Amino acid sequence: MIFNHIITALAGLTLFLFSMIRLTDVVRLHVTSTRIKSLFQYAVKTPLYGLITGIIVTILFQSSSATSVLAVGLVSSGLISFFHSLGIILGADIGTTLTIQFIVWKFTDISPLFIIAGGCAWFSGKERWTHAGEAVFFFGLMFFGLQIVSVAAEPLKDSSLVIDFFTHTRNPVLGVLIGLGFTAIVQSSAIPIALLVILGQFDLITLENAFPFVLGANLGTSVTALLAGIAANMEGKRSAFSHFLFKFFGVLLCLIFLSPLTALVQTVSSNVPQQIALGHFFFNALLALLFLPVLGPFSRFLVRIMPGQEEVFLIWPGFLDKKYLSDAGIALSRVQLELERQMILARRMMNKALGMMSSGFARRHYRDITCMEDVVDSLQKEINDYLQNISQRPLEQDMSKRLFLFTSMVDDIEKIADHAVNISKLSELQHRRNVQFSTDADSDLDEIKTLVTENVDDALSLMREYNETTITLIFSREERVDQLFKEAKERHLERYYKKICRAEAGPIFIDLLINLERISDHCENIAEDFGEIKGK
């Protein structure tokens, strides 16, 4: 009988964790690339804005770990600075307390309504409702999983062993360690704290015994960010370590003042489940109050003990301002500056992708490339919208030509970024299948990669300064790339027939050649566009 209840509870926890992960994936896939990224624009203005951003993003994700990992990834990708990530991380910790409050408000009881409503919208066949319905479905399923846990846990209220374990005073440090270990394993602080709330609903635990578990769960949630930070650059490592330090010093402080803090929470509410939820909220609010005013000195201290500086690339347009639209010449010059920024990011993506093909697949670089792809896509939309606004005004013929050609360049740069993503995926596929190219194949690739890299560098230089010689060099290299592409394919087929190359290496090798050749094509397009702008 007890075994059945345990299995049922574990099934409910599995459903909760699965639904949380799927909800996070749905929000990230359908919202992150535009709306979430736009929120981070405000995050870098002040630490307070970063705090608010972290709260909002975590409410959408329903996971502080997901927000923290996203922040570490953006820092590692060079899209926000280490300093600006700190406010987001503090806000993420506050945002996650809402999930626990939902449980106290008995969202578990009405979770089937969310599942039904979300499922109907998801399967309605109407695109505008599909994504929202999917999110609502997994939101409801998440709390339905906890409802299953609650049903399975109800018989525990008659168990003298369970009552004795949770109601007798225990060592607070032991409670912290148990909460830390549990959260580190399940990668979510919501699960252990939700279990505490459920136990509180059955009068199986008091706040005095629950609060140390809550502190440990909060400390444990920093483990996910630390794991993400292992593969990040120095800026990302600082963000992850900062998250741990916030939690560690907060737990230490709360343990010192455990009795008065517990008494304070108990004066606010007499309901144990609400007390647990409030304790969770007060802890994270306390962290924000303590660290938000000193994030500047704190970040400088971290830089001093973890030295290293990374280039930061803004995730939104840095030059497109509506105030320049009154003068088409100035507005178009601002567009060219933004195109340069977009090209820098596409080149960074390509270099990372090619680096993985040469030195081996790296999850960190793969994640960085996907983060940067979102930004390139967002910049494409922003630049096109700005060009559309310019086109609404009377333009001279040369201005109209520049506008038209800039529109073409935006697409060429975005496609270069797309091919960089394709190359990174091929690297992942090569790593997963343990495919090795022959020495001759690597030699063929090296020459083409060198030429393509030089073309991308020169295409970027044209955006900074027009040079006819540079255009000629791009055309010359592109002809050479086309020739080498054809020869490399023929040599590969010859090696394949001679059984020198493994069969599974062929599609990866050919796809890699195609993506490199097309990157060079887009560089040639950019060179042609600049030649036309100058009337050549």
Nearest to 175 by CA among 121, 255, 261, 237: 255
Question: For residue 195, how far is the Cα from the chain centroid?
Answer: 28
What gap in Å lies between CA 319 and CA 145, rounded to an integer?
A: 48
Quick one: how far is CA 100 from the chain centroid? 23
DSSP character at residue 33 = I
- 315-359: pLDDT as tens digits: 677 788 888 888 888 999 999 999 999 999 999 999 999 988 777
Domain edges within the chain = 2-305, 323-533
Of residues 121, 120, 115, the one with CA closest to residue 137: 115
Per residue in 252-300, pLDDT (tens digit) is 999 999 999 999 999 999 899 999 999 999 999 999 999 999 988 998 8
* Cβ density class 122-144: b for 16+ within 10 Å, e for less: beeeeeebebebbbbbbbbbbbb
Q: Which residues of the chain fall below pLDDT 50?
A: 32, 536
Contact 349, 420 (CB under 8 A): yes
CA distances in angstroms from 255 to 7, 176, 188, 249, listed in the order given: 34, 9, 22, 10
251: which residues sit within 8 A by CB, 6+ positions away? 176, 215, 216, 218, 219
> What is the Cα–Cα distance from 106 to 280, expressed in whole angstroms?
17
Give ∠ CA 367-373-379 in degrees, rounded to 5: 145
Which residues does 165 contact at the CB level (< 8 Å), separation at least 6?
none
Question: What pLDDT is attached to residue 226?
Answer: 80
Quick one: pLDDT at residue 379?
87
CA distance 36 to 56: 9
Q: What is 323-533's CATH topology?
A: Methane Monooxygenase Hydroxylase; Chain G, domain 1 (1.20.58)
pLDDT, residue 536, reads: 46
- pTM, to two decimals: 0.67
CA–CA separation, 287 and 518 (whole Å) = 50
